[in-house]
Amino acid sequence: MGARERSWDIARLSAAFREAPIESRGWPNPYAGRGDAVRAGAKLFRMHCAQCHGESGQGQPGAPALRTSVVQQTPPGVLFWFLRNGNLRQGMPSWSGLPDQQRWQMVSFLKTLH
């Protein structure tokens, strides 16, 4: 994936995060800082996300990299909201069928990607 395509994907990702309701910025991750939640989130990521975003979140054509400052600087509640709602226009499915606990575990994992 070229730098131009990556920057376009990151811009789309940033725009999608801005669609989250303002109150989601204040939702705390109840599993923040817990190693067991990160490990569970990594497993869920491999099962549900790696096919599009790559095994280590490096991104692939059509799916942005998640190892970026955009993801790291996005509040956990916004990531949680985004996982629940998705963005089908951009190819991101909704993971609303997963229990809240699993979505928060995925957020915990995403916050470890650097």
What is the C-alpha separation between 94 and 81, in angstroms, rounded?
10
| pLDDT beyond 80 at 4 | no
Q: End-to-end CA distance of the chain, in Å?
A: 18
Tens digits of residue pLDDT in 25-51: 999 999 999 999 999 999 999 999 999
Please give the distance of CA 79 from its chain centroid, rounded to a whole number: 6
Question: By the 8 A CB rule, do 95 and 86 touch?
Answer: yes
Give the right CATH number for 3-110 from 2.60.40.1930, 1.10.760.10, 3.40.50.1820, 3.40.920.10. Answer: 1.10.760.10
pTM of the model: 0.91
| pLDDT beyond 70 at 6 | no
| pLDDT at residue 8 in the model | 54
| pLDDT at residue 9 in the model | 75
Domain spans of the chain? 3-110
Amino acid at 75: P
